[in-house]
Structure 1
Amino acid sequence: MSSSSATRLRREEDVEKAYAIQVQAGLEGAARFTAVGLGLSIVAHHTWPAFRHQGRPFKAFLLSMSGVVFGAERALIAHEAQRRLEENHMRRIARLELTKHGIVPTETEIAKWRLSNEQSH
């Protein structure tokens, strides 16, 4: 397998994992936020006339979608930060190893090092 196809495969796997994380966190966020939002909706209904005039379907949509969006976004940001740390750590090790062997750590060389390192493990 070439380094470009290995990189493409790794990225596709990461996208699938990120999507699964977003779906799970979105469902959890919707459940959590709907419970909290129900109380806030009751308070807003009795204190804010503009909210009172909105229909129930709109209020339900607003509450459930807010939880989905905020939950999924928070989980995706945490996942991306973790992946960035892992990638930076791997690149640092690759640069050190390549430099020890007298190879200039270009993107191509780092990709080759990563491929050979993954195959050996």
Structure 2
Amino acid sequence: MSEPRSRQRQDVAEAYSIQTRSGIQGALRGGSIGVGLTIISHYTWPFFRRQTFQFKGFIVCTCTVFGLVISAERALQEYEALRRWEENDIRKEARLHLAQQGIIPTETAIAKWRANQEADTERPN
């Protein structure tokens, strides 16, 4: 398997774990808000008290799913922004080094530069 492909698989696995953890936390937060609002509404609003148990459960489920989705999406967007920022820094450094050597920084040249940099950091002194 090629190096970029394995790096991409690692990124996907890390993003999945971040999104899963954040989604569970968001679901717990949203579910507790839904339960709390349902209890408060039940005891303070006569119209809501007359609603069926299924409808109240639907309200709690809706809050739970909303919390899960929003939290997981926010975590994923933050992770993607961080990865984009790191990638842009690496590409900026590669363009600078290649330009100093008189090489036009094409995608191929940047990929070769990156492979050389990774090989240099892995090589023991």
* TM-score greater than 0.5 by the shorter chain: yes
TM-score (norm 1): 0.83
- Superposition misfits of 4+ residues, deviation over 4 angstroms: none
Equivalent pairs, count:
116
Is 2:37 aligned against 1:33? no
Distance 1:95 1:113 in 2: 9
Distance 1:104 1:76 in 2: 34
Distance 2:37 2:70 in 1: 16
Distance 2:6 2:53 in 1: 47
1:61 to partner: Cα distance: 2.2
Is 2:100 aligned against 1:100? yes
Counterpart of 2:73 in structure 1 is: 73
- Note the aligned Cα RMSD (angstroms): 2.1
Max Rg structure: 2
Where in structure 1 are there 5+ consecutive unaligned residues? none
Counterpart of 1:109 in structure 2 is: 109
Identical positions, percent: 44
Post-superposition CA distance 1:68-107 (Å, at most 9, x none): 1111011001101111110100000000011111111000
Is 2:56 aligned against 1:59? no
Post-superposition CA distance 1:9-66 (Å, at most 9, x none): 11111011000000000011111222222223345563876xx457144233212211
Q: Secondary structure at the match of 1:90?
A: helix
